[in-house]
Amino acid sequence: MEATNTQVRTGTIPPVVAARYALWTFVIVNLVIVEALFFTAGTGKNGVLTVAKFFGMHAALLLLCQLLLVARLPWLDRRIGMDRLTVWHRWVGFTLMWTLLTHAFLVVLGYATLDDASMTKTFFALAGVPASLFGMLAAAIVVVVAAVSARQVRRRLRYETWHGVHLLLYVALGLAFVHQLQEPTTFKTSAFATTYWWALWLFAFGALVTGRIVMPLWRNAYHRFEVAEVVRESDNVVSVRVTGRNLDKLPARAGQFCIWRFPGHNHWWLANPFSLSAAPDGRSLRLTAKAVGNASAGLRNVPVGSRAFVEGPYGAFTALHRTRPGALLIAGGVGITPVRALLEEEPAGDIVVLYRVRSEDDAVLIDEVRTLVAARGGRLHLLTGRTGETSPPFEPDNLLALVPDLAERDVYVCGPPAMTSTVLSSLRRLKVPQQQVHAERFGLA
């Protein structure tokens, strides 16, 4: 059972560790089965094709692991967090690309050796065989997606462009499935192999469809989310409160975020993640957004009464991961939103909040934060200043001066990527145990 809102977990396996065990068990069990299938299926037409088969089978396994990592399964997401799952998805993705390319290269080399033909001639001959062609197309899509996901390219692309290209992976998935189904070295090697590969594909694909399509559609049909209030917090920050039916049944927690669409107001493909800026009370959900681009800036014009399509809640930045009675909450700029929500859920007292902003005028939701901290008997430090100043507040010594007992606390950090990285590095240098450190990055990929 999960810890309730204000419990501090003691003596049990930390949720994140339990989820990692579950994932590793899944990976290891499947690796053992795949190795067993490989070694019992006999060799290929030559040594190179045998090795090619080895890489092909592992590429299929990696592809199916990818589906699980992005399926947004609530149990995994709440324990590991979508940001960390996305980082793993990224690394598994690059591994998948190299495994696929090695497989493809060895298949061409294997047949070229067998037929005593050139690699180019063999490549085009194989492209004429539907099963191979499907595999080649799937591999080509994976390479294109990996190329646009490389940091240097990704930074130059609009989120929507990158995401649109990424969606081609679903086409690759279909092509890879047909490829694997048609070629003779996996599904067709034995009755057990057929059952195993069907079960694995159905499980991974079922998880993806459930997490990405069925659950969001069902939740939106059930809750019928609707904009109840739009409040301008400042020139460039707006809060939107959304109500719906039976919101007490929505398993949302303070610190989590949702992916929001406002159909009729924005294009249907525009979906943006925003944290809950108030703890869910069973009657409404609130987001608070800083205007960055068109979608966030346009929120101030969303009409009250319009429908909202809400995916989630997602994220592991919650009190589920509390290990200590004391907490230090660190927010930078609009990163205050999940921290503000967490303040409503935290146990009374022994709370310190560090809120970093350029100037006091930039401190979004500051009145609410002050009231909540005071009500909890906590301490708030509003740290004003700019990046690059001579004595940055999140350097280890300065952090320690502000909160001398920080190693005894759970530390929650949310802010711009650079600030979050500085804080995390200082916490490492101050030897704060990793299980006490919880970060939310406002970036998924």
Ligand X SMILES: Cc1cc2nc3c(=O)[nH]c(=O)nc-3n(C[C@H](O)[C@H](O)[C@H](O)COP(=O)(O)OP(=O)(O)OC[C@H]3O[C@@H](n4cnc5c(N)ncnc54)[C@H](O)[C@@H]3O)c2cc1C
Residue of 196, 197, 262, 274 that binds ligand X (CB under 6 A):
274
User: Which segments of 346-403 does DSSP mark as H helices, in order?
Assistant: 366-375, 396-402
- Measure the CA–CA gap between 176 and 196, rounded to whole angstroms: 16
309 binds ligand X (CB under 6 A): no
Residue 296 interacting with ligand X (CB under 6 A): yes
Q: Which residues on adjacent β-strands are paired with residue 314?
A: 257
Q: Give the residue ranges of DSSP H helices in 41-81.
A: 47-69, 74-80
Q: Give me the least distance between CB of 94 and ligand X, in Å please.
A: 20
| Single residue of 88, 159, 203, 205 touching ligand X by CB under 6 A | 159
CA atoms of 64 and 201, how far apart (whole Å):
7
Please count the CA atoms within 13 angstroms of the CA of 315 that sit on its side-chain side: 28
What stretches of 172-275 adopt beta strand conformation (E)? 226-234, 237-243, 257-261, 272-275
Nearest distance, CB of residue 49 and ligand X, angstroms: 42
Applying CB under 6 A, among 13, 167, 292, 374 the residue interacting with ligand X is 292
State which residue, 16 or 48, has the beta carbon closest to ligand X.
16
Using CB under 6 A as the binding rule, whether residue 149 contacts ligand X is answered as no
Mark the segment that binds ligand X (CB under 6 A) among 9-17, 53-61, 266-274, 354-362.
266-274
Q: Which stretch binds ligand X (CB under 6 A): 96-104, 175-183, 243-251, 265-273?
A: 265-273
Half-sphere exposure of 209 (CA within 13 A, CB side): 7
User: Least distance from C-beta 156 to ligand X, angstroms?
Assistant: 10
**Stretch near ligand X under the rule CB under 6 A, chosen from 135-143, 179-187, 218-226, 291-299:** 291-299
Q: Which stretch binds ligand X (CB under 6 A): 60-68, 140-148, 190-198, 437-445?
A: 437-445
Of the residues 282, 293, 349, 377, which one makes contact with ligand X according to CB under 6 A: 293
> Is residue 294 close enough to count as binding ligand X by CB under 6 A?
yes
- Residue 427 CA from chain centroid, whole number: 23
Per rule CB under 6 A, is residue 196 in the interface with ligand X? no
295 part of the interface to ligand X, by CB under 6 A = yes
Kindly list the distances between the CA atom of residue 60 and the CA atoms of 31, 49, 165, 201, 210, in Å, as whole numbers in the listed order.
Answer: 11, 16, 21, 9, 21
CB atoms within 10 A of CB 251: 12
Q: Using the rule CB under 6 A, is 262 a contact of ligand X?
A: no
In a 13 Å sphere around the CA of 103, the CA atoms on its Cβ side amount to 24
The answer to whether residue 257 forms part of the interface with ligand X (CB under 6 A) is yes
Question: Could you say which of 273, 347, 392, 396 contacts ligand X (CB under 6 A)?
Answer: 273
Number of residues that bind ligand X (CB under 6 A): 20
Contact 258, 311 (CB under 8 A): yes
Residues that bind ligand X (CB under 6 A): 159, 257, 271-275, 288-290, 292-296, 334, 337, 442-444
